[in-house]
Amino acid sequence: MSTKKLNLKDKYRLLTRDLDWDFSYEDRKDAFPFEEFEGIKITDWDKWEDPFRLTMDAYWKYQAEKEKKLYAIYDAFSQNNGHLNVTDARYVNAIKIFLTAVSPGELAAHSGFAFTGRHMGGIGARIAAQMQSLDELRHIQTQIHAMSHYNKFFDGFDEFSHMHDRVWYISVVKSFFDDARSAGPFEFMVAIGFSFEYVLTNLLFVPFMSGAAYNGDMATVTFGFSAQSDEARHMTLGLEIIKFLLEQHEDNVPIVQKWIDKWLWRGYRILTVVAMMMDYMLPQKVMSWKEAWELYFEQAGGALFKDLERYGIKMPDYTDLIKAEKEHLSHQAWWTFYTNSQATAFHTWIPSNQELDWLSEKYPETFDKYYRPRWEMAKEMADKGERYYNEGLPQLCQTCQIPMIYTDVQNDPRDIVYRSTKYQGERFHFCSDQCQHIFENEPEKYVHSWLPVHQIFQGNCGGPGGLEKVMDYYKLDVGKANMDYVGSPDEERWKTWKGVA
């Protein structure tokens, strides 16, 4: 028999596409009940284009190759005390944020993709979602295994899982994933596939990881880059789902536009922390947050939106605002954490003079004018033994859950932005017009937000009894994991190891 040679496309189609069938004995809607409630109209699932045609055996093969490499490096890293090779122990605080805030988000994404991977009616999209679910499980597990070694030598890693359900700043990330997971399958795909993959992880896993490499953190760059090799698939899936929905029915266009507007903003708000990690937490700098944003978002995102124009999708109307905020974001964030680090599971510090100069150079329009004087004042106070901590509990934005730290960068960057609206007789507060709009589109959802500060006031975080009780509730090791890096046990150990005590 003459055997025809099959190309990748034909092979994938034959092996995957025809597995599903038209039901005869049950109502298909009972098996796939969540396809319609979001208002999305799918006329023909066969039009779905699989961006990557990975068969399961190829998936096992290539992913196993990645894993083999990754774990060989982990073993070498821990056998050789790789943590001693980082440029400075201050750096380790960036990956504490990573493990406590980002990694559990990977597990949430895994769970959400399992849900969509079960419930999407079209097999092509379903399988792509399932593979992503598997990848996201990979990500949290490889991240835990990378950090496992650091956890043995530094404070702030050990209660990452407990903290994820409780701590105030981590709640920002958790609410992002809870928001996506509690939505329908299509909104979830747009939220994670587009906002998280295309916008967020690209910045977190490429320039930040390159920075991790530059700072001698072999374990983190290894999992980061290895994870990012999966993200390339995920981003493409995110783009594909958007194109698919837009092509299926014109009624989908306004729904998708609304989701893009919402999720780009939700993802962008979380990036505030990544901005700070890049500008303030890498002892050796690779590129500034602003430069990274211009390259990975403005250039790449701009091309994407230009591509979506033909479907009638517009750039969100807050584009000018985020363009202006890139000059401010990292500085406002690091200041917030510096002044609240009595309640964080990582250490903060005042940038060195050399670092201040670098920031002045990278942010000529804003740094000297608005932020440098603050740091100089903070240093003066600290030198006098009056290190400043913010004693009160901040007002949080009802939507993104970030404290009110954002200023009116387009008018007067000294003015904090406050917005509020009334819903069912109660007043709700926001950090921006965008967060207010998101709330107003789905108030019945966002009134339920588990806002850490409200919960503390209501006595739900360790009961009444002040901040001490809250720290117990967080399992935050006071005096070890929190406050200044200078004088911390982390610093003491580092100096001993390095022989500079």
Cα(333)–Cα(272) distance, integer angstroms: 6
Cα(138)–Cα(449) distance, integer angstroms: 29
329 sits near another protein (criterion: CB under 8 A): no
Reference 66, options 151, 141, 173; nearest CA is 141
Token digits of residue 416: 């904090």
CB nearer another protein, residue 51 or residue 283: 51
Q: How far is the CB of 175 from another protein (least distance, A)?
A: 5
Instruction: Build a one-symbol-per-residue string for 240-279: x at contacts with another protein by CB under 8 A, - elsewhere.
Output: ----------------------------------------
> Do residues 218 and 289 lie in contact, with contact meaning Cβ atoms separated by under 8 Å?
no
Q: How far is the CB of 326 from another protein (least distance, A)?
A: 19
Question: In the beta sheet, which residues pair with residue 430?
Answer: 419
Q: Which of 72, 303, 377, 486 binds another protein (CB under 8 A)?
A: 303
CB nearer another protein, residue 4 or residue 384: 4
- Name which of residues 190 to 229 contact another protein (CB under 8 A): 202, 205-206, 209-211, 213-214, 221, 225, 228-229
CB nearer another protein, residue 154 or residue 334: 154
- Name which of residues 165 to 194 contact another protein (CB under 8 A): 165-166, 171, 174-175, 178-179, 181-184
Helix H or strand E encompassing 420: strand 419-423
484 sits near another protein (criterion: CB under 8 A): no
> Do residues 332 and 409 lie in contact, with contact meaning Cβ atoms separated by under 8 Å?
no
Q: Which of 309, 320, 365, 415 binds another protein (CB under 8 A)?
A: 309
CB nearer another protein, residue 161 or residue 257: 161
- Name which of residues 413 to 442 contact another protein (CB under 8 A): none
Cα(146)–Cα(398) distance, integer angstroms: 34
Q: Which of 41, 53, 323, 369 binds another protein (CB under 8 A)?
A: 53
Binding residues for another protein, rule CB under 8 A, total 136
Q: Which of 51, 267, 316, 413 binds another protein (CB under 8 A)?
A: 51
- Name which of residues 349 to 368 contact another protein (CB under 8 A): none
Q: Which window, 269-277, 358-366, 402-410, 445-453, contacts another protein (CB under 8 A)?
A: 445-453
Q: Which window, 137-145, 266-274, 326-334, 336-344, contacts another protein (CB under 8 A)?
A: 137-145
162 sits near another protein (criterion: CB under 8 A): yes
CB nearer another protein, residue 191 or residue 350: 191
Helix H or strand E encompassing 439: helix 433-441
Q: How far is the CB of 415 from another protein (least distance, A)?
A: 29
Q: Which of 36, 41, 88, 130 binds another protein (CB under 8 A)?
A: 130
5 sits near another protein (criterion: CB under 8 A): yes
> Which whole-number Å values give the CA distances from 240 to 66, 177, 243, 283, in the listed order?
25, 21, 5, 38
Q: Any idea what DSSP says for residue 426?
A: E
Q: How far is the CB of 340 from another protein (least distance, A)?
A: 20
- The separation between the first and the last C-alpha atoms of the chain, rounded to the nearest angstrom, is 78
94 sits near another protein (criterion: CB under 8 A): no
Question: In the beta sheet, which residues pair with residue 422?
Answer: 427
Q: Which of 323, 379, 445, 454 binds another protein (CB under 8 A)?
A: 445
Cα(219)–Cα(77) distance, integer angstroms: 7
CB nearer another protein, residue 166 or residue 269: 166
Q: Which of 36, 41, 88, 118 binds another protein (CB under 8 A)?
A: 118
CB nearer another protein, residue 41 or residue 53: 53
Q: Which window, 300-308, 389-397, 424-432, 433-441, contacts another protein (CB under 8 A)?
A: 300-308
The total of other beta-carbon atoms located within 10 Å of residue 214's CB is: 16
Q: Which of 36, 41, 55, 379 binds another protein (CB under 8 A)?
A: 55
342 sits near another protein (criterion: CB under 8 A): no
319 sits near another protein (criterion: CB under 8 A): no
Q: How far is the CB of 65 from another protein (least distance, A)?
A: 6
Cα(250)–Cα(253) distance, integer angstroms: 5
Helices within 252-390 (DSSP H only): 252-280, 289-293, 300-308, 319-325, 329-339, 353-362, 372-383
Exposure string for 156-172, b = 16+ CB within 10 A, e = fewer: bbbbbeebbebbbbbbb
Q: How far is the CB of 325 from another protein (least distance, A)?
A: 22
* Helix, strand, or coil (residue 285): coil
For every residue of 9-40, DSSP letters joined together read: HHHHHHHHGGG----SSS-HHHHSTTSSTT--
Spell out the residues 6+ positions from residue 490 whose beta carbon is closer than 8 angstroms to its own: 89, 92, 154, 155, 156, 347
Cα(394)–Cα(343) distance, integer angstroms: 12
Cα(132)–Cα(192) distance, integer angstroms: 11
346 sits near another protein (criterion: CB under 8 A): no
Q: Give residue 239's Cα distance to chain centre.
A: 18
Q: Which window, 56-64, 331-339, 416-424, 462-470, contacts another protein (CB under 8 A)?
A: 56-64
* Helix, strand, or coil (residue 318): coil
Q: How far is the CB of 316 from another protein (least distance, A)?
A: 18
Q: Which of 36, 161, 258, 318 binds another protein (CB under 8 A)?
A: 161
Spell out the residues 6+ positions from residue 395 whose beta carbon is closer than 8 angstroms to its own: 403, 404, 429, 453
7 sits near another protein (criterion: CB under 8 A): yes
Residue with tokens 């806002």: 451
